[in-house]
């Protein structure tokens, strides 16, 4: 129902682009579960592409990740002095100028609509009724909330792709769900709503509309959002 599709080939491609411009070995930044992309899977993919230098949050991470990179892995930790050369968010395309640098977006987050209802003009939506409908409109309920990593600040500000069109998040983001205002358009239960990762909308694009960074967004995607890999 909730999915974060991770494109490992894009991560590897970004890494090669970064390494081609580097004069010293780069450390693949696997902190924060590889910025929410899944550190074990990313480590395996990078290892297969010839990476051996890892940046981790703490020594405890080495026990589960170093074996995935091979016996010759070179480890550094973020609390060490002198760790200056690593890929950071750029490895995952999480930079505001990523496209101009030739870096690809690596995560697509989506969920299936669970209900659709028509609501009359003037009705309030979600907790506190901070959003009121300007006309009779269809509302789609999408099962991604702040416990899944969709920040509350996205309420009344963010837009989610549904039916190939950006739909405003109507009202406050709840713990488990948010609502989309479809206006006079319709939708069906089971239709896919894409928060980011489609039609040129990157994590950075989506997050910036409600004053959050792409890094904060992807690292906050919760465990109920199933990671799948391509």
pLDDT tens string 5-38: 999 999 999 999 999 988 888 899 999 999 999 9
- Scanning the structure block, which residue is given the tokens 């990313």? 42
Residues 6 or more apart in contact with residue 20 via CB below 8 angstroms: none
**151 falls in which pLDDT band (50, 70, 90)?**
very high
Q: Burial level of 76, CB count in 10 A (0-12/13-18/19+)? A: middle
4 pLDDT higher than 90: yes
Residues of the chain with CATH 2.40.37.10: 108-229
Per-residue pLDDT at 85: 66
Task: Reduce the DSSP state of residue 118 to 3 states and report it.
Answer: strand
Average pLDDT of span 132-142: 96
% of the chain surpassing 90 pLDDT: 80
79 pLDDT higher than 80: no
Per-residue pLDDT at 21: 84
Per-residue pLDDT at 83: 53
For the domain bounded by 108-229, which CATH number is listed? Answer: 2.40.37.10
* Cβ-contact 62, 75 below 8 angstroms: yes
Average pLDDT of span 166-178: 98
Calculate the average pLDDT of the chain: 93
Residues of the chain with CATH 3.20.20.10: 7-107
Q: Which two tokens stand for residue 12?
A: 């590897």
**99 falls in which pLDDT band (50, 70, 90)?**
confident
Structural element, H or E, at residue 218: helix 214-219
Per-residue pLDDT at 65: 92
In this structure, of 56-65, 75-84, 128-137, 211-220, the range with the lowest mean pLDDT score is 75-84
80 pLDDT higher than 70: no
For the domain bounded by 7-107, which CATH number is listed? Answer: 3.20.20.10
How many Å separate Cα 222 from the centre of its chain? 10
Per-residue pLDDT at 50: 94
132 pLDDT higher than 60: yes
Per-residue pLDDT at 200: 87
Average pLDDT of span 79-93: 74
pLDDT tens string 185-196: 999 999 999 999
Helix axes 39-48, 59-69, angle to 10 degrees: 40
Average pLDDT of span 50-61: 88
Q: Which two tokens stand for residue 2?
A: 């909730």
Average pLDDT of span 85-102: 87
């Amino acid at each position: 129902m909730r999915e974060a599709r991770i494109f490992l080939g894009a991560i590897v491609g970004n890494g090669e682009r970064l390494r081609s411009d580097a004069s010293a070995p780069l450390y693949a930044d696997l902190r924060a579960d590889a910025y929410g992309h899944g550190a074990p899977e990313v480590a395996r993919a990078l290892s297969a592409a010839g990476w051996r230098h890892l940046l981790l949050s703490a020594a405890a991470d080495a026990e589960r990740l170093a074996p995935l990179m091979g016996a010759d892995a070179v480890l550094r930790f973020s609390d060490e002095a002198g760790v200056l050369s690593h890929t950071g968010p750029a490895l995952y395309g999480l930079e505001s100028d990523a496209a101009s640098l030739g870096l690809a977006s690596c995560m697509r987050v989506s969920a299936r609509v669970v209900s659709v209802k028509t609501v009359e003009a003037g009705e309030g939506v979600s907790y506190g009724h901070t959003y009121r409908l300007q006309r009779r409109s269809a509302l789609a309920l999408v099962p991604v909330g702040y416990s899944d990593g969709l920040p509350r600040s996205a309420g009344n500000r963010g837009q989610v792709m549904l039916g190939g069109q950006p739909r405003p998040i109507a009202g406050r983001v709840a713990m488990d769900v948010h609502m989309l205002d479809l206006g006079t358009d319709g939708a069906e239960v089971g239709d896919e709503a894409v928060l980011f990762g489609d039609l040129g909308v990157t994590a950075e694009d989506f997050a910036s509309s409600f004053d959050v960074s792409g890094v904060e967004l992807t690292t906050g995607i919760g465990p109920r959002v199933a990671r799948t890999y391509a």
